[in-house]
Amino acid sequence: MMGRAHLAISTGVTISILGLADYKITVPVVAVTVVSSLLPDIDEPNSLLVSRALPTSLLRLLQGVLIALAAFVYFYGTELAPWNTVIAILAALVSFMPTRTLRNVMMILIGACLILFGQSYIPWSTIIGCLLIICALVPHRGITHSLYGVLGWTALLYFSTYTYGHALWIAGGLSYLIHLLADALTNHGIRPLPPFDFRLKLRLMSTGTMKGTLIENLCIGLTFVLVWFVFFRRVNLEHFIF
C-alpha cells in the first residue's frame, strides 16, 4: 500500500481500538500512532516518512554545500595535495548521487551522529542511530517488515514510556503491526520471520494498479466508518440510551 493509505488505515484503526478499550486518546498517543503507521517503510528512502523528514529541498541544499566544499578544498587546500583533490572528488561524487541514494547517505550520517554525540541529549539515541544505519542498508520490506521489527519497536516504546501508562506503547506496536498486515494483502507480501523463506501474502491487490487503488480506497473508507462509529456514533447512542 501507499504511504498515505498506511497513515489513514493504521492510525484510524489503532485509535479506534484504543477508544473501544477505553484508553485516553492524547496528543502523544496520536503522534506515536502516526509515526508508527509509517515507520516500517523507513528502509525505503522515498517513503512518506523519510521524504518528509529529509525533504528534497534539504537534499538540494546539501548538494550545494558539498559542491562548494569540493571547490574550496580543491583550490584552497593545495598544501594538502594530492589529498585535497581526492577529498574534492569524493565530495563532488556524493553531491551528484541520485536523490534515493543521497537520502540513504543522510540516514547513515544522522545515525552515526546519534551514536557518537546524541546520548547526552536524546534518550535511546544509540538504538535509534543503529536503526537508521541498518534501515539505510537493508533492502525494502526486510527486517522492518517482520515480527522482529514489531517486537523491537514495541519493546523500545514500552521501556521508554511505560511510566506514563500503557497507551503509548500499545498504540505504537499496534499501528506498526497493522501496517504489516496491510502489506500482507499485496502480491509482494511480507516475510514475517526472516531468514525463513515463508512469505505472508494474500494477493488481494497490487500497488499502483486500478484494483489496488480501489481496494486502498475501500479500506480507507471503512476505516473512516470505524472512526465515526467509535468516536461519534457510539457517543450519540450512549447519550440517547442514558
Neighbouring residues of 91: CB distance < 8 A, sequence distance ≥ 6 = 66, 67, 69, 70, 73
Let me know: does 211 contact 205? Beta carbons within 8 Å: yes
Q: How many secondary structure helices (H) and strands (E) does the chain include?
A: 11, 0
Residue 225: per-residue pLDDT: 93
Residue 53: per-residue pLDDT: 78
Residue 234: per-residue pLDDT: 57
Residue 237: per-residue pLDDT: 52
d(CA 235, CA 242): 11
Give pLDDT tens digits for 222-235: 999 999 988 887 55
State which residues of the chain have pLDDT below 70.
1, 122-124, 141, 208, 234-242
Residue 195: per-residue pLDDT: 83
What pTM did the predictor assign?
0.78
Residue 241: per-residue pLDDT: 47
